[in-house]
Chains A and B, each alone.
Chain A
Amino acid sequence: MSVNQTDIYAIALHHRFQWEEAQSCYVILFPEGMVKLNGGAGEVLNLVDGKRTVADIVLALTAKFSDVPDLAQDIIGMLDLAIEKAWLRQLN
């Protein structure tokens, strides 16, 4: 299963995504658990806002980090993983 360019996602119910100053990274919090996200993963999820499509997210990040090779593929991989882990829910 892989995400489509036109899909729109939001953070899953009962999950919270936030920046953590003390750890200098983004985290996802949910009932009795948490995940720390490394730099790249955090940047991707930070753009998942219930409005942007997958294509929008890829576009925004490839523009921002134009020197990173294979970035689009990594972004899709990250979104796939986030869906598999049930951190995201699809809106459309």
Chain B
Amino acid sequence: MTQASLGQSVVQKEIQAQNNGVSSSVTKTQPLWLLAEVTYRCPLHCAFCYNPTDYDKHTQNELTTEQWIQALQDARRLGALQLGISGGEPLLRDDIEDIVIEAKRLGYYSNLITSGVGLTEKRIQAFKEGGLDHIQLSMHDITEEINNFITNTKTFELKKKVAAMIKNHGYPMVLNVVIHRYNIGHMRQILEMAEALGADYIELANTQYYGWSLVNRSQLMPTKEQIDEAERITNEFREKQGSKMKIFFVVPDYFSDRPKKCMNGWGEVFMIVTANGDVLPCHSARVLPNMDFPNVRDKGLDWVWNDSPAFNKYRGDSWMKEPCRSCAEKEKDLAGCRCQAFMLTGDAEGADPVCSLSPNHHVITKAIEDSRNPVIASKPIIFRNDKNSKAIIAGELEDRVKEFHALP
């Protein structure tokens, strides 16, 4: 799954739209967004992959087509409207066509989030007929070299072919580019490529450090100066270009002094059903201690969303500690990301250390320093693959994960 599918930027977009004066406000929690992470298998091995590093545990027990269809129906009844079909690489399953047809029947707006590998003429035709609304394609760089390096596969030519196929079938072209040290210097060329491909939307998602990207943080993190420059180029491009291609620049949280309002709040609008049926309020929630996440095999989604202890645990703000509890800004960010707080500080209820008011803010400053330390930054990238996942589960890559309070 690429970082764009985190939904965070997506939910922000939705909320922004709500503030435009024509919309009613959200008064009760409702899983407007259902993300179906249908498989953790993936032919790519991206260094910045957001999936859990121990995903290898969840590749043998995927939900069946019938279980997915049941989940779609249950979530729709709870008010879910946007469906993301993601992974891993969702196209490794041969039942995406069935899922798409059911999504259409139920009235979802369905989004396929793909690396493009496995998208054939035959399948895209079936998706179109089945009523798939939109395909989001991940792109990595304008150079073959960086694309193939960062994904650890030879997929550059294929991505361009797939982009053309998406366009030919009348789909809006939505590109997602995860930004990191290796491509941040190519921002203008990336935007030009997107324009040349006829993109309607491009999401420039600065790497956020979860899963594999946390393990590779020192290797991937660009400098503050590079990010500022990238943003400047993006703004310049936006102005020059008018409103034809919509550009979203997702700002990296490590370099700001307040955290993001993660998932727009725990259990507020977002629900993820993972490959093995675990239901989560955010992608990395499984890292949190003393949590028991429900599974669709045991419980219906209605109970999961409304009554499960896991989904209620961090709703609202009564669980907060100082400095957040009495902070005037707490409704703005809801104390940030629980997973980031726990992984980096060992305290799941503390302020997200990204916040400059957090007593643990130094862990972020140190991470930025480490990424500039040539000895640390030159350690090899641990690519996301089954072998490395097994090694991490077995504790073999100890020195790369020991500073974290849970396996990323």
Interface of A with B (CB < 8 Å)? Answer: 13-14, 16, 18, 20, 22-23, 25, 27, 29-38, 41, 78, 81, 85-86
Extra contacts besides A31-B134, A36-B24 (10): CB < 8 Å: A27-B81, A32-B84, A33-B82, A34-B17, A34-B32, A35-B18, A35-B23, A36-B18, A36-B26, A41-B22
Are B14 and A33 in touch, CB under 8 angstroms?
A: yes
- Give B104 Cβ to nearest chain A Cβ, in Å: 11
Contacts of A27 in B (CB 8 A): 81
* Given known A-B contacts A23-B79, A81-B22, A35 and B14 have beta carbons under 8 A apart: yes
Q: Nearest B residue to A86 by beta-carbon distance?
A: B243
Q: How far is the CA of A78 from the CA of B78 in the complex (A)?
A: 29
B150 CB contacts on chain A under 8 angstroms: none
User: Out of B21, B77, B111, which one reaches A31, CB within 8 Å?
Assistant: B111
**Is there contact, CB below 8 Å, between A16 and B82?**
no
Q: Are B23 and A22 in contact (CB under 8 A)?
A: no
Does B174 reach chain A (CB closer than 8 Å)? yes
| Sampled A-B contacts (17; CB under 8 Å) | A14-B172, A25-B24, A31-B201, A32-B84, A32-B111, A32-B136, A32-B174, A33-B10, A33-B13, A34-B32, A34-B81, A35-B18, A35-B20, A36-B18, A36-B23, A38-B24, A81-B22
Q: Which of B20, B26, B79, B134 sits near A20, CB closer than 8 Å?
A: B79
Pairwise interchain contact A78-B22, C-beta atoms closer than 8 A: yes
B22 near A37 with CB under 8 A, answer yes
Taking A33-B13, A33-B17 as contacts, is the C-beta distance between A16 and B109 under 8 angstroms?
Answer: yes
Chain B residues with CB under 8 Å of chain A are: 10, 13-14, 17-18, 20-24, 26, 30, 32, 77-79, 81-82, 84, 107, 109, 111, 133-134, 136, 171-172, 174, 200-201, 243
A31 near B22: Cβ-Cβ < 8 Å: no
| Residues on the B chain within 8 Å of A41, using CB | 22-23
